[in-house]
Every structure is written in C-alpha cells, then in structure tokens.
Chain A
C-alpha cells in the first residue's frame, strides 16, 4: 500500500478547476436547448398531432434506444463521410448537439408523463371558461406539470453534467480528459481520478442545493 500523493493532488486542483467552466457551459447550453426541445416533443405527443406524432415517437425511440457514445460517434465521425460540411462543426458544438438530442428524448417522456398527470378536471375547467388550447397549456397545465417533472428533469441535468465527460472522445479536453492526460503523464491514476471525482461531486452537490430551493418555489402554490 502506498500513501496518497496529496501534494500531487493539490497541484491538480487548479488544472482541473480550469476546465470546470467548459463542462458547465456544455451542460447548461445542452440543458436549456433540451428543455425547450423536450417540451415541444411532449406537447406533440400529448396532443397527438398527426404525422408529427409518429416522427417524434421514432425520434424518442432512437435517442433513448442507443447509447450516447454511439450517437456522438455517429454524428461526429460517421455522418461526415457522407455530408462533408459536417466536418466544420467542432467538438464542443457536436457534444452539445448530442447531449441535447439524447437527453431531450428522455426529458420529453418525463414531461409527457407530468402533463398527463395533471388532473383531467383541470383541462375541462379551463376549456369551460373558454381558454384556447395554447392558453390552457401555458397557464394551467405546464406550470403544474413543471412541478411534477422538476425532480426528474434535475436528475437528467446531473446525468448531463457527467455525460460531458464523453466529449474527450470528440477531441474536447474537458475535466475528465484533462485528468486522463495528467494521469498518463504521472501514472498516479488514483490521485488524478479522485480529484476529478471530487470536482464532479462538488458541482452536483452545489446544484442540489439549488434544486431544493427551486422545488420549494414551484411547490408554493400547493403548500399548506
């Protein structure tokens, strides 16, 4: 048994910290884009819009049914063989695109579930006072669905943050890529991976505090 090289770990902290903004950037942009896309997909499915509904079903099935790594490779290395212009897309953009597509498929399903979970009487009440379908969705259904969906969506966001670690396969040096390269130079695998694990953990914990606040806020209307 050898002791942990604490001094080395300490030296790694500023190195890994330098990559935190990139990881957060990729996760945040993907999250916002995925939320918007997922909400649209869910609405298409709930309202059973003809044709579109079938397209969305296939989209969700594909992006839930194949691993994120496969999707990233397919898009980044595979498709450019046919569509050359895709090579102009850089790794960060491709990673964001992949994360967005992948997680929007999951999120669409949890948003759909949350929408369907809103009691039927709410729809009927809104319709009885003459609200249009879009008003009904925007003012009555989605705010209630948001509250139900929030914890699962937050879980997907956490997954997304960790999913950014795959970006290294697309040539983006993010936190995990940086740790891997440092470990390859020092052979102190335990120290390097421990430091990066602690970083991810700290980020997710910080977000969990935010999540608890958000849930309190969303739950205000029904709090007793």
Chain B
C-alpha cells in the first residue's frame, strides 16, 4: 500500500515536472538597479531586456517571477522557475549544483563608501577592522570571506538596501559589482562614492537545473546568447542600461 502511494506521488512528480517548457520562467529580485527594478509598477532593466531578447531568439515565451533575492536559488532548485536573471556570478559551488550558460556580463567587485570616506577607504585592504555590507547569498560575501584577512572584517549580510545603510553610516562600506555601483552612484540621491579600483573579475551567467530538461533549455538559451553577442544586441542592451559594454571579457574590452 505504502509503495503504491509512493509511486503515485513519484509519477505525479514526474508528470508535473516541466519537460520542454515553452514558457521560460525567469526569477529575479526586481530590486537590483539597473539590472532588474520597478518603476510605476513596470519591471525593467538590463536582465529584463536580455531575457526578452533571448526569448525572441529561441521562440519561447518569457514569464518574469519576482521574489526577494534569498528565495531565488531555492525556487530554481525546487523547479518553480527555470533560471535566475539577477547577475548571478559563476562560482565553483554553484557550478557543482547547476549548469550555466556562457557569461553575458564581465565585471569586477567594487568597494563603495559614503561620500567623503573614499580617501580613508581605498580598496579591499583598507576594509580591515571595518564593517562591510553585502547582499545575503551573493558571491561578494564569499569573496570577502576568502580574503586572507577576512577575520579582521566585520562582514554583515543584508536582504536588501545595503546602499542605504552605507549612506546612513551604519556600515563603513558595501561591496557589489562595479557596474551597478557606478550606476547607483550616478542615478540615486544617496551620497556614495567608489573606493579604489575593482578587485576581482566576476562573470555573470544564467543558471539552470542540472537535469535533462534543464540542460536542453540551457543549450537553447546559450545558443541565443551567442547570436545576441554576434549581432550586437547584447552590447546594445548593455549600453542602454549601463552606458558601457560589459558583455566582453575585461582583457578583450581594453
């Protein structure tokens, strides 16, 4: 009896798992300017345009699912979404669990401080003895913890609003990618400044579940990204939102 119930549950699970989904469900926070954010109830940004362009190439529909950042990977893992478009950085840990497309953004980690403090804090070395905010579950947390002097840094993880807490002086700095940092400083009313040069190359790509359907979808999306790189669409999207083309490896861009 128990076996029957179990196999019924399993069969149901297999049946409902999306096979070749014609609607790509894309998870994002909707709260990461200028990659994914909302104005007047309209979701927009770099990642939104990218996913629409990809879907146009593959002939799929795209459905955006917004949720707080910390829920995104769980939602991908449990099959509620098919990928995450939220500047997800390729890390060994994530690669062990998910399959990635080729990178579509090349960027660096950047220390940002309250305006006026950039002479005091000039890069990752000057974070010793200071409090630093990072987004919970982001790769910047891992990056800081891997610094040789990590135990001297007071790393604080946030669900959101690290920019605000740095501007308010609750923490000495935050670490995020260089491109969004620069955009935040330019576009927001917050008194913030870049502290020193970017200190690590990061590559963003789209993660998919490592199963048959996930791999198939990854291949389809990856091919679309190749096309978008070749025909210049990706560079255009980058220029539109970031005033710079960040879609090529840093060495190549120089």
Q: Name A's B-contacting residues (CB within 8 A).
A: 2, 11, 15, 18, 73, 76-77, 80-81, 83-88, 91, 168-173, 177-178, 180-189
Contacts and interface: CB of A to CB of B under 8 A. Distances in A.
Contacts of B74: 73, 76-77
Contact of B77 (A77, A86, A168, A181): A77
Given A178-B41, A181-B43, 19 more contacts: A76-B78, A77-B75, A77-B77, A80-B78, A80-B80, A84-B13, A84-B79, A86-B78, A87-B79, A87-B80, A91-B67, A169-B70, A169-B71, A172-B67, A177-B67, A178-B38, A185-B38, A187-B163, A188-B189
A93 B81 CA distance: 16
Contacts of B164: 187, 189
B181 to A, nearest CB: 13
Nearest to B44: A185
Contact of A184 (B13, B33, B70, B190): B33
A15 B81 CA distance: 25
Contacts of A188: 189
B40 interface: yes
Interface of B: 9-10, 12-14, 16-17, 27, 29-33, 37-41, 43, 65-68, 70-71, 74-75, 77-81, 160-161, 163-164, 184, 187-190
Given A83-B9, A85-B9, A178-B38, A173 B79 contact: no
B71 to A, nearest CB: 5
Contact of A173 (B17, B32, B66): B66
Given A181-B38, A187-B163, A171 B75 contact: yes
Nearest to B12: A85
Contacts of B187: 187
B14 A84 contact: yes
Given A184-B30, A189-B164, A15 B77 contact: no
8 contacts: A76-B74, A84-B9, A87-B78, A88-B16, A171-B80, A180-B30, A182-B38, A184-B31
Contact of A15 (B40, B70, B188): B40
A29 B16 CA distance: 26
Contact of A170 (B12, B33, B40, B67): B67
A4 to B, nearest CB: 12
Contact of B66 (A18, A181, A185, A189): A181
Nearest to B190: A187
Minimum-distance CB pairs A-B, first 4 = A84-B13, A184-B31, A77-B74, A171-B67
Contact of A187 (B10, B27, B68, B188): B188
A20 B226 CA distance: 43
A87 B33 contact: no
Contacts of A186: 39
Given A73-B74, A84-B79, A171-B75, A184 B37 contact: yes
Contacts of B70: 169
Nearest to B71: A169
Which of A18, A77, A81, A83 gathers most chain B CB within 10 Å? A77
A183 B77 CA distance: 28
Contact of A180 (B9, B10, B31, B77): B31
A73 B160 CA distance: 18
A188 B68 CA distance: 18
Contacts of A87: 16-17, 78-80
Contacts of A184: 29-33, 37-38, 160
Contacts of A77: 71, 74-75, 77-78
A171 B66 contact: yes
Nearest to B80: A87
Contact of B68 (A76, A86, A168): A168
Contacts of B32: 184
Contacts of B38: 178, 181-182, 184-185
